[in-house]
Amino acid sequence: MSGAESRRVVITGLGVVCPLGLTPDELWSGLAGGTSAVGPLQSFPCAGLPLHHAAEARCFSGDIADFGPLDGERKKAIRKGLKVMCRESQMAVAAAQRALHDCGDAASHHPPERFGCVFGSDYMLTLPEDFTAGVARCRGADGRFVFGRWAADGMPQLTPLWLLKYLPNMPASHIAIYNDLRGPSNSLTLREASGHLAVGEAVVTIQRGAADIMVAGATGTRVHPMKTVHALQSEQVAIGDGDPTRWSRPFDKNRTGMVLGEGAAVLILEELAHAQARGARIYGEIVGHAARCSSDSSGAGRRRQAIGHALRRALDMAAVPAGSLGHVHAHGLSTVNGDRDEAAAMHDVLGDAATRIPTVAAKSHFGNLGGGSGLVECVASILAMRHGELFPLLNYETSDADCPVRAARRGDPAGTVCTSTAVTPQGQAGSLVIRSWPTEA
């Protein structure tokens, strides 16, 4: 066994910001209770859009109290930095601070050079109001925008540090600065696959001996004026009539598209011997991970191939036979083609076991959180294994011959090992295999 293989990587901290709450307990309560977080869209005017409902993280206002327990200096620094954080960055920092608190303040037990951060995100877009004053200064007598005036009259109206709010490397930068993490750092922007890939990179960073502890997280939103319009133009979004809490229905025959949401999650990953030496609580172990990509000549993702390749590699690395999985946490986007392709990939890899192993999809409760989805879903699966039972695949009522999965029911055993997968429209996929850790008697 190589030195890298002997360095086992365990999970010692969890942090979430999602439509169901700001703590793992709130997330679990919502999932186990069959709660849908979908409601009227409130964060921006939507009268001119065909979409009026989404899964917003209404529990997160950006107030310093939302960032969890903080000492005085850290609270002061974060409050000062809020003005240069967009909402995705704020959620990322909040999830990270909550996870760091949950892990027992590991930073105080270890040299900062051995503590790093890998963070994933969506592409980050500015808000229209950031440009309102500048555009107004560039209007001609007829009220039309005069581009030639932008450099001299428009640009000076932008907030001087405007760009810092929307750089996708800022979540990792803020988290490292606030917590004096001087180890390896990286930022990934692979949309929904970002979280799984961030965990994979953090694992190999620890295994190769470059760090002993890593913050691995992801943040994202699809509830944003520009991103919402982009989704409506390019993806299948549920808009239909009826109760919006029933719109997200992964793998159901009558699914009509995804629900848009927002959120972030963080796992604190730690080398096993280091975690045991400091008496850390251990939630589980990352035993397999993989990243794959498959797309056609036009750039459209071949999701079946991408998911299948990633899932197969992650299971091979973990040495976990398909029949040993306690449950599968599916990407479960609730789109017609996406769910069909994912179900096919599951059958390609798992064979007949795909119709026996319970399948869950937390997106049925809160929709697509963009880059934040994957790790919120991993936290959900970790909690399910600790509680010993699964939450239901919400809104699943009518089976689809094109999606032959075994939908999880309330109270189904969660097992001791699970897999979670995420994929982007461009065919970038990530998969994780997580084994639970025995709880102390």
Q: Which has the higher per-residue pLDDT, 162 or 21? A: 21
Q: What CATH number labels 3-125+166-436?
A: 3.40.47.10
**What pLDDT was estimated at residue 319?**
96
- Smallest CA-to-CA distance from 195 within 375, 363, 369 is with 375
Tens digits of residue pLDDT in 301-310: 899 999 999 9
pLDDT score recorded for residue 162:
87
Question: Quick one: pLDDT band at residue 242, thresholds 50, 70, 90?
Answer: confident
**DSSP helix/strand/coil, 263:** strand
Question: β-strand 358-360 against 327-329: which pairing, if any?
Answer: parallel
Q: Taking a C-beta distance cutoff of 8 angstroms, is the pair 251, 361 a contact? A: yes
pLDDT of 45 over the 90 cut: no
Q: How far apart are CA 308 and CA 44, in angstroms?
A: 38
Beta bridge partners of 258: 237
For residue 123, the model assigns a pLDDT of: 86
- Nearest Cα residue to 91 out of 371, 341, 334: 371
* DSSP structural state of residue 58: T
β-partners of residue 17 are 264
Query: Which single residue is written with the structure tokens 């598209």?
Result: 257
- pLDDT at residue 106, as a whole number: 65
**Alpha-carbon distance 376 to 368, whole Å?**
11
| 98-151 pLDDT per residue, tens | 999 999 966 666 789 999 999 999 889 888 888 989 999 999 999 999 999 999
Give percent of the chain with pLDDT exceeding 70: 97
d(CA 17, CA 102): 14
Q: pLDDT at position 441, please?
A: 45
The pLDDT score that the predictor gives to residue 111 is: 87
Q: Is the pLDDT of residue 2 over 80?
A: no
Question: Which residue blocks in 123-185 are alpha helix, DSSP H?
Answer: 132-137, 170-179
CA distance 13 to 268: 5
List the Cα angle 279/283/285 in 5-degree steps. Answer: 100
So where are the chain's domains? 3-125+166-436, 128-163
Predicted confidence at residue 1, as pLDDT, reads 37
Residue 107's pLDDT is 61
Joined tokens for residue 163: 């760009």
Cα distances from 135 to residues 125, 159, 212, 227, in angstroms, run 17, 13, 49, 21
CB 233: neighbour CB atoms within 10 A? 8
Tokens read off for 182: 């001087």
